[in-house]
Structure 1
Amino acid sequence: MIPRMEFGRTGHLSTRIIFGAASLGEVTSEETENTFELLAKYGINHIDTAQSYGKSERRIGPWMKHHRKDYFLATKTDQRTKDKALVDLYESLDKLQTDHIDLWQFHCLVDQKEWDTAMGEGGVLEAALEAKKQGLVKYIGVTGHGMNAPLMHLKSLEQFPFDSVLFPYNYTMMQQPAYKEQATKLLALCEERGVAVQTIKSVAKRNVEDRDNSYATWYEPLDEERAIEQSVQWVLGNRQVFLNSVGDIHLLPHVLEAASAQINPVSDATMDAMIETYGMKPLFT
Structure 2
Amino acid sequence: MQDMREKIERAAFGRTGHLSSRVIFGGTAVWGEDRDAADRILEMLLRYGVNHIDTSVTYGNSEKHIGRWMKEHRDQFFLATKIDARTHAEARLELERSLRDLNAGHVDLLQMHELVRESEVDLFFSAAGAVKVLDEARARNLTRYTGVTSHGFEAPRILRRCIEEYDFDSVLLPFNYHLSTHPQYRPDFDALVEACATRGIAIQTIKAIARGPWGDLPRTSSVWYRPLERPEDIDKTVRFVLSFPDLFLCSAGDGTLLAHTLEAAARFQSLGGPEATEMEKLSRDRRLTVPDQKGWPRLWDKPT
Letter in 2 for 1:120: S
Aligned to 1:66: 72
Letter in 2 for 1:160: Y
Select the residue among 153, 160, 174 that pairs with 1:154.
160
The yes-or-no answer on 1:254 pairing with 2:260 is yes
The yes-or-no answer on 1:189 pairing with 2:200 is no
Aligned to 2:89: 83
Q: Distance in 1 between matches of 2:169 and 2:97?
A: 23
TM-score by length of 2: 0.92
Q: Distance in 2 between matches of 1:210 and 1:142?
A: 33
Aligned to 1:13: 19
Q: Distance in 2 between matches of 1:91 and 1:273?
A: 46
Q: Distance in 2 between matches of 1:263 and 1:210?
A: 37
Q: Distance in 2 between matches of 1:263 and 1:252?
A: 19
Q: Distance in 1 between matches of 2:259 and 2:83?
A: 28
Deviation at 1:122, TM superposition (A): 2.1
Query: CA-to-partner distance for each residue in 1:21-44, whole Å, 9 max, x for gaps?
Result: 111100010001100000000011
Select the residue among 210, 224, 227 that pairs with 1:204.
210
Deviation at 1:284, TM superposition (A): 4.8
* Unaligned stretches of 5+ residues in structure 1: none
Match of 1:282, SS state, is coil
Deviation at 1:174, TM superposition (A): 1.8
The yes-or-no answer on 1:275 pairing with 2:283 is yes
Kept after mapping to 2: 8 A contact 1:119/1:125: yes
* Unaligned stretches of 5+ residues in structure 2: 1-6, 294-304
Query: CA-to-partner distance for each residue in 1:5-60, whole Å, 9 max, x for gaps?
Result: 10001111100000001111000100011000000000110000001111100111
Tell me the percent identity: 39
The yes-or-no answer on 1:101 pairing with 2:92 is no
Kept after mapping to 2: 8 A contact 1:82/1:122: yes
Aligned to 1:54: 60
Q: Distance in 2 between matches of 1:115 and 1:273?
A: 39
Query: CA-to-partner distance for each residue in 1:228-279, whole Å, 9 max, x for gaps?
Result: 0000000000000000001100000000000001242323321111112112
Q: Distance in 2 between matches of 1:176 and 1:32?
A: 36
The yes-or-no answer on 1:137 pairing with 2:143 is yes
Aligned to 2:272: 264
Kept after mapping to 1: 8 A contact 2:236/2:273: no
Q: Any runs of at least 4 consecutive aligned residues in structure 1 with deviations exceeding 6 A, and if so which?
A: none
Q: Distance in 1 between matches of 2:39 and 2:292?
A: 34
The yes-or-no answer on 1:241 pairing with 2:247 is yes
Kept after mapping to 1: 8 A contact 2:208/2:249: yes
TM-score by length of 1: 0.98
Letter in 2 for 1:207: P
Q: Distance in 2 between matches of 1:78 and 1:265?
A: 34
Aligned to 1:110: 116
Q: Distance in 1 between matches of 2:143 and 2:94?
A: 13
Q: Distance in 2 between matches of 1:180 and 1:48?
A: 25
Q: Distance in 2 between matches of 1:6 and 1:21?
A: 21
